[in-house]
Amino acid sequence: MQETFFGSDIVDMVLNAGLMAKFVLIVLLIFSIISWAIIFMKLRLFNKIKTESEEFLELFW
């Protein structure tokens, strides 16, 4: 019986992978988390800048 795409085949592949493959996967996971953190930080920053810009324009004009 064939497993689903996200089934135990992928888990088995990761568990049976070599040390270097596991290291690469961990590094990729860490950098992915860091990238998403940067994306959300920039999103918050741009929203703050937009709000402050709108407030400035209301006061200026």
* Domain, as residue range, for 51: 19-60
Q: Convert the pLDDT of each residue in 19-50 to its tens digit.
A: 999 999 999 999 999 999 999 999 999 999 99
pTM recorded for the entire structure: 0.70
In a domain, 38, yes or no: yes
Q: How far apart are CA 51 and CA 24, in angstroms?
A: 41
- ∠ Cα 34 42 49 (to 5°): 165
In a domain, 56, yes or no: yes
Q: How far apart are CA 21 and CA 29, in angstroms?
A: 12
In a domain, 14, yes or no: no
In a domain, 54, yes or no: yes
pLDDT of residue 1: 45
Asked if residues 61 and 53 have their Cβ atoms less than 8 Å apart, the reply is: no
In a domain, 13, yes or no: no
Q: How many structural domains is the chain composed of? A: 1
